[in-house]
Structure 1
Amino acid sequence: MTDAAAHRSQPFPLARGREKGYDRQAVDEFLARARGTFESGTATLDARAVREAAFPLRRGGYQIAAVDAALGRIEDAFAARERERAIASVGAEAWVAQAREEAQVILDRMSRPRGERFDRVGPFAYGYAREEVDIVADRLTRYFEAGEPLTVEQVRAAAFRPARGGYREEQVDALLDAVVDVMLAVR
């Protein structure tokens, strides 16, 4: 097989040089599982599981951005199916009410004072930079309260520098996951 033919058979571009990418076998296996689940309609995988998928990094792996973009599209497809099933089961009104309740929980967290929205790690441990998280939290608040434009992709792409005494990463990540869930629920 020529290099050109091998390149065409790969679903994603490869990381170049010393750059690491996602382990190809792990990605391929996950995508095969996601495709099988989606096509069969079974509930062995859902939108959240797609969002939380993680892969080891390897030299010669798939380019991270390309895989992440594909995972975002796959998550959207699973979320749309979950939304359709829930609406068929409980009705559109109940579905919207549930999304509103979840949005209110997020807003309650965001109404805390800047610098106090999440638990902090110890003074010598690293967490997410509070100032950066608070900027994103303010933007999320404007999205929910005033309808300021914000996309799921922007929330997914939120990244924060590590900082001593910062916010607990797990709490921030859980909130961002909840935001994505709500945004996908009302799309």
Structure 2
Amino acid sequence: MPIIILERDGVINDNSDPCVRSATEWHPLPGSIEALAALSHAGYQLVIATNQSGLALGQFDLDDLEAIHSKMRTLVEDAGGEVAAIFYCPHGPKDNCRCRKPQAGLLDAIEAEFDTSLHDCYLVGNKLADLQLALEKGCQPVLVQSGEGVLTLQQLVENPDPRLAETKVFKDLKQFSQFVLA
């Protein structure tokens, strides 16, 4: 089954400031749960790849993160879909780790776990780091304008990167899912 890689915050759920710290603060964006369920039902394996520096910064703990992910998974399952896996970087921005996007460590781990190449799979994000990661691993970069997506699109217009010229841009995850399923 083909894999779709997705950022969590700002793509699937609202991204509160400075971060989502608990399951009660985690709120899906309109249409995102249904979009995930539809993609899953169509045979796509949905894998979340997300930076969660709030762990390193002490803004929440591992139990909080697991509760957030449990809530998300339950909502997707209740809608008839499944999240195949969730990979996260627990490090802070200054830790210089290999798993913090735009570094490729999370995608390397996904390839190892699923024993596959992610080349040409969709990578859906709302930040420049997501798009840069897609390029590094040969994925198809997809920008959604939710979360920080509008700001990212503005950055791309003001400072065009020819490597990102073919990036597909959608209003939100729901519109992306409609494109994939059409």
Q: How would you bin the TM-score normalised by the shorter chain?
A: under 0.3
Higher helix share: 1
TM-score in terms of structure 2 length = 0.25
TM-score in terms of structure 1 length = 0.25
